[in-house]
Chains A and B, each alone.
Chain A
C-alpha cells in the first residue's frame, strides 16, 4: 500500500491578474521503502509541494491520501495535522535546525516526549538511533560543538525517532560539501532500504539523486516523471 498519494493537487496563490499557479495537477505516490526525489530549479514549486504534502500549506484543489486515509479532498478532512506530523512524518531540513539549547541526546529525545514515550524505552531508542547514525559518542554535546555533517546526522536521527512512515527531506545536502552531501543521501537510502521508510527528498542538485527509485522533475509548478 502507498504511504502517500496525491491526485490532481494544485495550489494557486492570489486571484485575478495577480493569480500565481504554484502547483498544477500534481499526481504522484510513494510506497514504503521507496526513495523519490523532487528535482527542479528555484521557483519551480518544490517547496510549495513539500509544504502541501507536509500538511503545512492548504492546497487549492486535489486529493491527498496518507497511509490509506484520504486526508485532503478539496479541503482537510477532520485530521489533527500536528499529531499526524509528529507520529508519522520525519523532517530533515536544509540546515540541521537542531534546537541549540538542547544536547544531541535531548534533540533526539524531544519528538519521543511529544508522543508520550518515556522511561527506559526512550533511552534505548535514543542510543539505538545515535549508534545507527554513528554519533553516540557526541550525545552530550550541544549542536554548536558539532560539524555540519554531524549535525545533519543528528537531525536525521531526530527525524527517525518516532519510526515515521515517511521522511520529508528539504534540500538536505544544500549546506554540505559534495562528499558529506553524498554521505547524507547514502544514509537516507540505507534508512529507506532497512527500515522500509518512504523518503521524499527535495533537491536542486542532480548529482545527489543517484540511486533514487524515482525522480520527479518540477518545472513551473508541473511535474514530469523522469
Chain B
C-alpha cells in the first residue's frame, strides 16, 4: 500500500493468572518477533525475544528474574528480558510474547473444554432436519474457533507519507478503523483513562482541602503562640503589612518544606504503587502552585487573629 513502509500484526489482552502462588493481573502483548512492530523498548536487563516460541520479556514489577521459567497456559516460558518503563493503559504491568505464543495463551483451551464444545456442537448439528452424525463428525473440527486472530495491525509510515491519506485509504478500502499514534493517545486519555484520571483528581482535591485545613490550624496555633510578640510589634509601631508578611512567610515556608518532603517521598516510592504511576514535571509544578495558593488561604485564619491582636496586650506581666 502506498505510504506504508512496514505493517505487522499485534495482539494484546489483560489476563489474571497465578504466578508464584499469587494471583496477578497483567497485560500480554504478542508481536512479530522477527522485525515486526510493537516490541519492547529500553530493556533494563537481558535481550529481546529471538525465538519463535517460549520466550518472554516482562516488566520488572512482576518480580521475575532473567532466566526464570514461568508457566502460562500449557507451556512454560523463559524470561529473557526485563524492562521498567512502559505499561498497559490501565497501569498493569506488561508481558511480551511472540505473536503465536500470545495467541495460544489467550485462545488455547484445555482438553475438557474442547471436548465439551465438540459435544455441544455435535448435539446442535444432529438435530432432526440438520446433519447426519457422520456429516457432523466431519464438519466439527472445521467449526472450531480460529486462534489466529489479532487485535490490530501496526503500521509504520514510509518517509514523507501523509498519515491522513494512508488512514483514508485503509478506511475506504479495508473498512478498518484507523488511528494515528496521537489519536490513540487521545482515545486512551478521553476514554479508558478518563475515569481513573478524574478519580485521582478528586482524590487530590480532597487531599489539598485536608492539607489546607491542617496547615491553617498549624498556622493559627503558631500565631496564637506569638500573640505577645505580635502585640509588642504593634505597640512599637509595626504596620499591619509587616505582621501579615510574618504570618504569610511562616505559612509559605511550612508549605514549601511539606511540598519538598512530599516530592522526595513520592519520587522515591512511586515504583512501589501497585499500578504504574507516571510522574511528570507539569503535575509537580501545578501541584506546587496549588499548594502555595492553599498556603495563602490557610494563613488567613492566622492573619485574622494577628490583626485583631491589641497592642495593649504587650503591657503588664505574663
Min CB distance B314 to A, Å, is 6
Which chain A residue lies CB-closest to B228? A97
Query: Is there a chain A Cβ closer than 8 Å to B135's Cβ?
Result: no
* B317, A95: Cβ atoms closer than 8 Å: yes
> Which residues of the other chain, A, contact B314 by a CB distance below 8 angstroms?
91, 93, 97
Q: How far is the CA of A50 from the CA of B314 in the complex (A)?
A: 12
Q: How large is the interface on B (under 10, 10 to 19, 20 to 34, 35 or more residues)?
A: 10 to 19
Query: Is there a chain A Cβ closer than 8 Å to B242's Cβ?
Result: yes
Can you list 9 A-B pairs, Cβ within 8 angstroms, ordered by A?
A54-B235, A56-B235, A86-B238, A94-B315, A110-B233, A110-B238, A111-B236, A174-B317, A175-B317
* A91, B235: Cβ atoms closer than 8 Å: yes
Q: How far is the CA of A91 from the CA of B238 in the complex (A)?
A: 13
Which chain B residue lies CB-closest to A97? B232
> Which residues of the other chain, A, contact B312 by a CB distance below 8 angstroms?
51, 56-57
* A82, B239: Cβ atoms closer than 8 Å: yes
> Which residues of the other chain, A, contact B317 by a CB distance below 8 angstroms?
94-95, 171, 174-175
> Which residues of the other chain, B, contact A86 by a CB distance below 8 angstroms?
236-238
Q: Which residues of A contact B (CB under 8 A)?
A: 47, 50-51, 54, 56-57, 82-87, 89-91, 93-95, 97, 99-101, 110-111, 114, 158, 170-171, 174-175
| Chain B 301-314 per-residue mask, 1 if CB under 8 angstroms from chain A, else 0 | 00000000011101
* B229, A91: Cβ atoms closer than 8 Å: no
Name the interface residues of B204-251: CB closer than 8 Å to any CB of A: 228-229, 232-239, 242
> Which residues of the other chain, A, contact B232 by a CB distance below 8 angstroms?
91, 93, 97, 99
Name the interface residues of B275-318: CB closer than 8 Å to any CB of A: 310-312, 314-318
Q: How far is the CA of A84 from the CA of B233 in the complex (A)?
A: 14
* B315, A51: Cβ atoms closer than 8 Å: yes
* A91, B236: Cβ atoms closer than 8 Å: yes
Q: How far is the CA of A204 from the CA of B310 in the complex (A)?
A: 24
Min CB distance B27 to A, Å, is 56
Q: How far is the CA of A162 from the CA of B233 in the complex (A)?
A: 14
* B234, A47: Cβ atoms closer than 8 Å: no
Q: How far is the CA of A158 from the CA of B318 in the complex (A)?
A: 20
> Which residues of the other chain, B, contact A90 by a CB distance below 8 angstroms?
236
Which chain A residue lies CB-closest to B232? A97
* A170, B315: Cβ atoms closer than 8 Å: yes
Given contacts A82-B238, A86-B238, A114-B242, contact A94 B233 (CB under 8 A): no
Q: How far is the CA of A82 from the CA of B241 in the complex (A)?
A: 12
Which chain A residue lies CB-closest to B225? A100
> Which residues of the other chain, A, contact B238 by a CB distance below 8 angstroms?
82, 86, 110, 114
> Which residues of the other chain, B, contact A175 by a CB distance below 8 angstroms?
317
Which chain B residue lies CB-closest to A47? B315
> Which residues of the other chain, B, contact A51 by a CB distance below 8 angstroms?
312, 315
> Which residues of the other chain, A, contact B316 by a CB distance below 8 angstroms?
47, 94, 170-171
Min CB distance A43 to B, Å, is 13
Min CB distance B70 to A, Å, is 61
> Which residues of the other chain, B, contact A158 by a CB distance below 8 angstroms?
236
* A85, B315: Cβ atoms closer than 8 Å: no
Interface centre among B234, B310, B311 (most CB of A within 10 A): B311
Which chain A residue lies CB-closest to B240? A82
Which residue of the partner chain, among B233, B234, B237, B311, contacts A99 with CB atoms under 8 Å? B233
Q: How far is the CA of A89 from the CA of B236 in the complex (A)?
A: 8
Min CB distance B243 to A, Å, is 11
Which chain B residue lies CB-closest to A158? B236
> Which residues of the other chain, A, contact B235 by a CB distance below 8 angstroms?
54, 56, 85, 91
Q: How far is the CA of A101 from the CA of B318 in the complex (A)?
A: 18
Q: How far is the CA of A93 from the CA of B314 in the complex (A)?
A: 8
Which residue of the partner chain, among B228, B311, B318, contacts A56 with CB atoms under 8 Å? B311
Min CB distance A41 to B, Å, is 15
* A114, B236: Cβ atoms closer than 8 Å: yes
Min CB distance B133 to A, Å, is 97
Given contacts A97-B232, A99-B232, contact A87 B315 (CB under 8 A): no
Given contacts A56-B311, A57-B312, A97-B228, contact A85 B236 (CB under 8 A): yes
Min CB distance A84 to B, Å, is 8
Q: How far is the CA of A54 from the CA of B237 in the complex (A)?
A: 11
Taking A91-B235, A99-B229 as known contacts, 19 extra A-B pairs with beta carbons closer than 8 A to each other, sorted by chain A number, are A47-B316, A56-B312, A82-B239, A84-B237, A85-B237, A90-B236, A91-B314, A94-B316, A95-B317, A97-B228, A97-B232, A97-B314, A99-B232, A99-B233, A110-B233, A110-B236, A111-B237, A170-B315, A175-B317
Q: How far is the CA of A91 from the CA of B311 in the complex (A)?
A: 12
> Which residues of the other chain, A, contact B228 by a CB distance below 8 angstroms?
97
> Which residues of the other chain, B, contact A83 by a CB distance below 8 angstroms?
237
* A82, B234: Cβ atoms closer than 8 Å: yes
Q: How far is the CA of A215 from the CA of B316 in the complex (A)?
A: 21
Q: How far is the CA of A57 from the CA of B312 in the complex (A)?
A: 8
Q: How far is the CA of A170 from the CA of B311 in the complex (A)?
A: 13
* B237, A93: Cβ atoms closer than 8 Å: no
Q: How far is the CA of A199 from the CA of B64 in the complex (A)?
A: 83
> Which residues of the other chain, A, contact B242 by a CB distance below 8 angstroms?
114
